[in-house]
Amino acid sequence: MVIRVRPSVRRALRVVAPILIVVAAWNVWTNVETRRLQRAYGSIVQLEMGLPSEVPSTVPEGEQRADSYYAAAAVAAIAQAASDRSEQPDQVFIRQGRVVRRQREALAGGPPLTAAEASARDVFLARNSLVTDLVERASPLRFHRFPDGEASGLRFRGLPAAARSEAMRTAHLLATGDVSGAGSSIAARLRLLRALDVDVAQKSIEAVEAATDIGFLLSSGRVGEIDLIVLDRALSEAYAESEFRALLFRLARARYDIALSADQPLRPVAVHFGVTEQKTIAEAMDATRLPWPQRLTAMEGLREGMLNLERPGRSSDVKPLLQRLTPLMANGIGAISAARMAVAVEGHRQRTGSLPKALGDLEPDRRGAMNDPYSGEPFRYKVTANSFVVYSVGSNRRDDGGNLAEDPSRIPAKGVGPTFDVGVEVKR
């Protein structure tokens, strides 16, 4: 039996059939790319299995937690800035940062604060007394980490503002000669770094600034042995070995969700590019297993990113992001490690009456086992007639003779502007 098809149906089939074939092929491509993405992300999940849990499964009932105090301090810092009706909160934070920089300039021997600057400092300190009180109350408590995605605005705006308030208090205590109070304030800032683990850039800035202030503190020559021990312990806890790998896993999870949430018809394209991003992140996680400075070299050799659908014509920002964050982490680790050794040098001076001739003369448990993250060699140590400097060679990987940036919050990026070492100078 011959089935006759009307000409109009045949014409319709000739139009519809190619469309159906393309749609079916597109769906097949989507399924294939989705399975590839799941495999790529699954390999990262396997790497993540060995990382410590972000939040313990059980927290003892009634236990006071540092993260609760840090969250409250972040809220208070933002609320205080918002209460100033004359300018936006971000402008308040910028003005606050300027006052802190001027305080450090004065501590370093620069011009003293003007009457207007001193008045602004006093106003800031009075308004943010609750913020600094919460930060210091959190200092001795256990920190359980914030769950991913929880109050990200507080973490990226409030916590840096709280750290800035405590830094202003540190500088004021140093200027007034309250050495013990300044030491406690710096220790509280170092422990606040625990809560900045997802903001590598800000944590690096805070770490370098805290190390600089430790130099001012030790220059007083009046830091007691107990205070040195407290500082050493806080410095040893500032950076966790698994911290960057945990950050990479969070990035992989976020990019995985973004790729799968793309709407048709761009989903297979987005998922395809998402696979490349996952592979880049997996390479970065492998690189974090390497010692410094091989880790820096491996990060510089990450595979090229793919097209960024949100910004056509530009590559994915995963590779440049990781290549920017790794040296920033090296800066922070370098500054913290140098500060820990400077504390050990001061302890040696107090016990023996003289500075050590080399860092190798220090007790191993006091100086830590960390080498310079930029060179892989021991930290540099330079003694002059009126000071000593412990330092890392910095991002140019060249010894600049212990030349440290006057403003630690503005260490230039690699290849931009003058070069500086990273470390701590103690004047005598």
Average pLDDT of span 154-168? 89
Q: Supply the pLDDT for residue 215.
A: 96
Q: Which residue has the tokens 């016990």?
A: 351
Residue 389's DSSP bridge partners are 382, 425
pLDDT single digits (tens) 191-249: 999 998 878 889 999 999 999 999 999 999 999 999 999 999 999 999 987 888 888 98
pTM for the complete prediction? 0.87
Could you give the CA distance from residue 180 to residue 185 in angstroms, rounded to a whole number?
A: 9
Distance of CA 266 to the CA centre of its chain: 34
- Among 153, 155, 169, 160, which Cα is nearest to 205's? 160
3-state secondary structure of 426: strand
Q: Supply the pLDDT for residue 73.
A: 94
pLDDT single digits (tens) 88-114: 888 888 899 999 999 999 999 999 999
Q: Supply the pLDDT for residue 417.
A: 47
Question: Is residue 425 pLDDT above 60, yes or no?
Answer: yes
CB 422 within 8 A of CB 331: yes
Question: Is residue 153 pLDDT above 70, yes or no?
Answer: no
Q: Supply the pLDDT for residue 24.
A: 77
- SS3 per residue for 358-407: CHHHCCHHHHCCCCCCCCCCCCEEEECCCEEEEEECCCCCCCCCCCECCC
Q: Which residue has the tokens 């014409």?
A: 11
CB 359 within 8 A of CB 343: no
Q: Supply the pLDDT for residue 1.
A: 57
Long-range contacts of 374-383 (CB under 8 A, 24+ apart): 374/292, 374/293, 374/296, 374/330, 374/334, 375/293, 376/291, 376/292, 376/293, 376/294, 379/337, 379/338, 379/341, 379/423, 380/421, 380/423, 381/341, 381/345, 383/355
- Among 417, 408, 401, 224, which Cα is nearest to 328's? 408
Q: The sheet that has 387-392: what strands, in order across it?
A: 380-383, 387-392, 422-427
pLDDT single digits (tens) 6-21: 677 666 667 666 777 7
Q: What percent of the chain has pLDDT over 90?
A: 49
Q: What percent of the chain has pLDDT over 70?
A: 83
Q: Supply the pLDDT for residue 46.
A: 80
Q: Which residue has the tokens 């504390």?
A: 343
pLDDT single digits (tens) 32-75: 888 999 999 988 888 766 555 444 445 555 578 898 899 999 99
∠ Cα 393 396 280 (to 5°): 110
Question: Is residue 398 pLDDT above 70, yes or no?
Answer: yes
- SS3 per residue for 292-310: CCHHHHHHHCCCCCCECCC
**Rounded (10°) angle between helices 179-192 and 200-219:** 160
Question: Is residue 132 pLDDT above 80, yes or no?
Answer: yes
CB 424 within 8 A of CB 342: yes
pLDDT confidence band for 428 (50 / 70 / 90): confident
3-state secondary structure of 408: helix
Domain map (residue ranges) of the chain: 66-196
CB 198 within 8 A of CB 149: no
Q: Which residue has the tokens 């900045």?
A: 196
Q: Supply the pLDDT for residue 57.
A: 45
CB 103 within 8 A of CB 175: yes
Which residues have a Cβ under 8 Å from the Cβ of 163 and sit 6 or more positions away? 135, 189, 192, 196, 202, 206
